[in-house]
């Protein structure tokens, strides 16, 4: 028995004695709090994959804490989430509470829920996603920052997306390293991918919230500066929400060589991934971007930047190329290399796909289920058929 297990058992034995016995179906019960599954974005994608792929001995209910809409509508959704949690904490049924949070308002709302769970003595998982949480945290008033830190420290398990983010939370939020589990985002790995070796045009694809943080403007500027001969052999497709109109205006001089879509559904995303040759995400801040993992799983080499957790999942000059965020010349040089060298581009795509298998959703779901089992306030969980 390791030290972490002893700590967890010590923390939960008094509480477990007050709970109802393990239900007859042998399930671990989980309440997951986070954005509605209808909200656009990477956190929602992770939440949905968790709900879809957990093993059958985990019974999970997703409780939305935010939905798109007016301020009043959002407040009503959060109030309902508080009510759901209050009822769960009043019940003797053993339940693990898993809370996803990002930064700004998301952090402040989720800290209310986390405090409720911690004060009730229930097992708590905090799952950190925010790509700019470090800047947000440093700008908080000192008293608020101390309160946020105290709440974060009350988690039984604190999930970060990368070793870089783990170090931030340990160093600046004073979370015990023994609480932290590094768990990069999951991805579905398709059974088959298209043969891109016959493509005569290199299509670059950029997905996400269009704007400065994701490097959308830098990418358009890099493409516009390509030599005419190479630009005529290439195409850039961007899709997402954010500053769609602004990016279209920037891209106008390239004519049909740059195409800008607004937000697309998963079917259209999969179509674009299948027909593209290179993924480009030269972000200035990230957690571990779902779009990058999806591109890798689909056999695309990438041009991306070493920010957030990207260096944990992406290998420079193996899965594609790392460029300095905001450096248009570096982005352009990487584009030139991948347009000019077919063998390099195809080999990097194969390597990226193999790398993505480490983050396959089936592996992720088993690891997360193991965490749930480890802290669930029951003596034993038996797997059901």
**pLDDT, tens only, 129-177:** 989 999 999 999 999 999 999 999 999 999 999 999 999 999 999 999 9
Residues 155 and 253 both lie in one domain: no
**pLDDT, tens only, 173-214:** 999 999 999 999 999 999 999 999 999 999 999 999 999 999
Residues 22 and 84 both lie in one domain: yes
The rounded mean pLDDT for the chain is 91
Helix (H, G, I), strand (E, B) or coil at 82: helix
For the segment 86-104, the average pLDDT, to the nearest whole number, is 94
pLDDT band at 350 (very low <50, low <70, confident <90, very high): very high
Residues 223 and 302 both lie in one domain: yes
Domain holding 119, by residue range, is: 3-186+361-375
pLDDT band at 25 (very low <50, low <70, confident <90, very high): low
Residues 106 and 238 both lie in one domain: no
Q: Is the pLDDT of residue 246 over 90?
A: yes
Q: Is the pLDDT of residue 8 over 60?
A: no
- Confirm whether 385 is domain-assigned: no
- Confirm whether 384 is domain-assigned: no
Residues 117 and 154 both lie in one domain: yes
Q: Is the pLDDT of residue 314 over 80?
A: yes
pTM equals 0.86
> What's the CATH code of the domain at 230?
3.40.50.2000
Residues 105 and 141 both lie in one domain: yes
Q: What's the pLDDT score for residue 18?
A: 34
- Confirm whether 295 is domain-assigned: yes
- CA distances (Å), origin 106, targets 109, 273, 277, 302, 305: 5, 30, 36, 30, 26
Residues 244 and 331 both lie in one domain: yes
248 closest CA partner among 234, 334, 202, 239: 239
Q: Is the pLDDT of residue 27 over 90?
A: no
Q: What percent of the chain has pLDDT over 90?
A: 87
pLDDT band at 1 (very low <50, low <70, confident <90, very high): very low
Residues 288 and 152 both lie in one domain: no
- Confirm whether 234 is domain-assigned: yes
Residues 99 and 128 both lie in one domain: yes
- Confirm whether 156 is domain-assigned: yes
Helix (H, G, I), strand (E, B) or coil at 280: strand
Domain count, the chain: 2
Residue with tokens 């797997």: 383
Residue 236 burial (CB count, 10 A): 26
Q: What's the pLDDT score for residue 130?
A: 86
Distance CA 66, CA 221 (A): 35
- Confirm whether 195 is domain-assigned: no
Residues 156 and 254 both lie in one domain: no
The full DSSP string for 87-118 is: HHHHS-S--EEEEEE-STHHHHHHHHHHHHHH
Residues 157 and 293 both lie in one domain: no
Residue 167 burial (CB count, 10 A): 13
CA atoms within 13 A of residue 189's CA, in its CB half-sphere? 19
Distance CA 99, CA 105 (A): 14
Q: What's the pLDDT score for residue 10?
A: 30
- Confirm whether 168 is domain-assigned: yes
- Confirm whether 218 is domain-assigned: yes
Per-residue tokens: 370: 């193991």
Distance CA 121, CA 220 (A): 51
pLDDT band at 377 (very low <50, low <70, confident <90, very high): confident
For the segment 267-273, the average pLDDT, to the nearest whole number, is 96
CA atoms within 13 A of residue 122's CA, in its CB half-sphere? 28
For the segment 212-226, the average pLDDT, to the nearest whole number, is 98
pLDDT band at 26 (very low <50, low <70, confident <90, very high): low
Residues 161 and 218 both lie in one domain: no
Residue 144 burial (CB count, 10 A): 14
Residue with tokens 């965490």: 371
Strands 58-66 and 124-128: unpaired
């Amino acid at each position: 028995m390791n030290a972490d297990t002893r700590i967890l058992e010590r923390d939960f034995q008094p509480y477990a004695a007050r709970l109802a016995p393990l239900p007859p179906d042998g399930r671990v019960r989980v309440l997951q709090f986070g954005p509605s599954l209808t909200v656009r974005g990477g956190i929602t994608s992770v939440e949905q994959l968790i709900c879809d792929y957990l093993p059958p001995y985990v019974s999970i209910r997703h409780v939305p804490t935010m939905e798109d809409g007016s301020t009043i509508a959002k407040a009503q959704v959060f109030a309902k989430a508080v009510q759901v949690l209050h009822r769960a904490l009043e019940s003797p049924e053993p339940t693990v509470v898993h809370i996803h949070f990002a930064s700004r308002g998301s952090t402040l709302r989720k800290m209310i829920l986390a405090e409720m769970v911690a004060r009730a003595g229930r097992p708590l998982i905090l799952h950190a996603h925010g790509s700019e949480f470090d800047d947000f945290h440093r700008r908080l008033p000192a008293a608020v920052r101390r309160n946020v830190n105290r709440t974060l420290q009350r988690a039984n398990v604190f999930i970060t997306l990368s070793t870089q983010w783990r170090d931030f939370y340990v160093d600046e939020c004073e979370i015990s390293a023994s609480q932290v589990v590094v768990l990069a985002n999951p991805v579905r790995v398709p059974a088959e991918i298209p043969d891109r070796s016959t493509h005569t045009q290199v299509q670059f694809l950029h997905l996400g919230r269009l704007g400065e943080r994701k490097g959308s403007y830098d990418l358009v500027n890099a493409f516009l500066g390509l030599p005419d001969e190479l630009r005529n052999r290439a195409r850039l497709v961007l899709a997402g929400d954010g500053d769609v109109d602004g990016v279209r205006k920037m891209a106008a001089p390239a004519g049909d060589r740059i195409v800008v879509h607004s937000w697309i559904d998963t079917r259209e995303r999969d179509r674009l991934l299948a027909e593209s040759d290179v993924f480009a995400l030269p972000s200035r801040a990230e957690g571990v971007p779902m779009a990058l993992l999806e591109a890798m799983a689909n056999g695309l080499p990438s041009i991306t930047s070493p920010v957030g957790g990207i260096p944990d999942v992406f290998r420079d000059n193996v899965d594609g190329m790392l460029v300095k965020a905001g450096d248009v010349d570096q982005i352009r040089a990487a584009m030139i290399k991948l347009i000019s060298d077919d063998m390099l581009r195809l080999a990097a795509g194969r390597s990226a796909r193999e790398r993505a298998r480490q983050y396959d959703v089936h592996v992720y779901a088993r690891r997360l289920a193991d965490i749930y089992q480890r802290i669930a306030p029951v003596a034993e969980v038996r797997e059901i058929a």
